[in-house]
Chains A and B, each alone.
Chain A
């Protein structure tokens, strides 16, 4: 499963089917019709695997068995050599040599707690971008060590990517009993339910959000009592961010602002809270919003959003060089295609206004349209530029309200990153 293997569609398909086969074997039996149907589907991709790839999938299959196999009666001593190999596992995972990471871990599994082995496997598969397989191992780790909040919270987080419906179900169960749960787990459950509410137009959204707010406040109170607000300051600040977002979704903008301000009183330079407050102020108090975005960037925000809003502000203010610079920096951050297309369009407009050669401007528009081929505004601006001889035709630029909507729909607080 090194990068080399992952570039082979047959290997990826076979691994996916292997995961399904083991799930079917656990749920319906080794010789069930379901299992046999999956085995038949494995013939084709399996016939095209190389000997190295076959060796890798044999190892992965053995790992899948560990999820349901009886636990070992004894664990071998954790020697210095084992510790060295564990470092090698992490290094291999971080350098994306996933096959090596899994292989070394497999050879040392008998020296480690089964929960730790399962957790490490889950983290490797997470890094490999396979959330369903990662969730399988992380859930097993959490099942073996239910008292470990880290295992449970990471398992729930990954499950939300692999199987959103089941994750929402788990999150709902956690909230029903939130006072007995670790704060980190409750906050991740709240995050999952908040995202669900944000994407839903259901009537029950309001009551879900109100439960989420109650659970977050309870988790924050418990963190203050236990001292976790000091030992896990990042997590504590994320709770303010999540709470503010819930109030925004409930339409209580003053309430949201209160929580952003309170969080920023505790940590005035927190890039996440600065960005959220800036987004809330944008359009109504643009100087204040710009100050927040600029500060978030100075404080090392790794999010695209302060760059996005700031670039838009410079676009509307006709500060084209600043717009171009800020958009370019924004493109270096992780972002959806839609956000990237907007930034590329703004670079095109700025570039045109700064008098850059027409092919340069057109190339930026074309890149934007490759990412968002159906984007009406970008296409209209491109056609306007093609048809016009002027470097600054009458561009159609998005309003602050439109940009604010993109931000609210696209922004994601990730509790796990802070945990």
Chain B
């Protein structure tokens, strides 16, 4: 994710920010129902178990000495949230982790219950101080 000056992720609704891209963005991370609520279909903010599991365009180039194919912008940083195992389940009382079907080393952070999109964005933003840079 993009790194802010305080070494925490940038909050927002663009690619590589702490938040989700919302329809009508063609690359939206979530689907909305007719009333504007987030559909609980496993879609959400994309995350991975380890930065080494990311495709190369998401890994900052400064990490080339550790992963020679890293080709992401150096404005990005690899953040970690918490210290528990990368398992499907609740992250807190409002967010949960759902693993991707084709890649169990990657998943989506999703809302735990049917909610407005802004509430979901706020819940993600509320975790900002819990993310720290981990690039070892």
Contact = CB atoms under 8 A, between A and B. Distances in A.
Interface in B97-116: 102-103, 105-106
A21 B69 contact: no
Interface residues of B, number: 25
Closest 7 CB pairs of A and B: A61-B69, A62-B68, A46-B55, A58-B69, A61-B56, A62-B69, A42-B57
Interface string A19-49: 0011001000011000110111011101111
A31 B60 CA distance: 11
A43 B76 CA distance: 14
A207 interface: no
A57 B73 contact: no
B73 A39 contact: yes
Interface of A: 14, 17-18, 21-22, 25, 30-31, 35-36, 38-40, 42-44, 46-51, 54, 57-62, 64-65
A57 B55 contact: yes
Contacts of A39: 57, 72-73
Given A18-B57, A42-B55, A59 B69 contact: yes
A50 B103 CA distance: 5
A18 B15 contact: no
B20 interface: no
B15 A40 contact: yes
Given A35-B73, A48-B102, A54 B57 contact: no
A47 B61 contact: no
A39 B57 CA distance: 6
A34 to B, nearest CB: 12
A57 B56 contact: yes
Contacts of B57: 17-18, 21, 38-39, 42-43, 46
B61 A30 contact: yes
A303 B72 CA distance: 47
A268 to B, nearest CB: 54
B46 A47 contact: yes
A43 B15 contact: yes
Nearest to B76: A39
A221 B55 CA distance: 53
B73 A30 contact: yes
B10 interface: no
Listed residue (B61, B103, B105) with the most chain A CB atoms within 10 angstroms of its CB: B103
B103 A49 contact: yes
Contacts of B105: 51
Contacts of B67: 58
5 contacts: A22-B71, A38-B57, A57-B55, A58-B68, A59-B69
Contacts of B71: 18, 21-22, 25, 61, 64
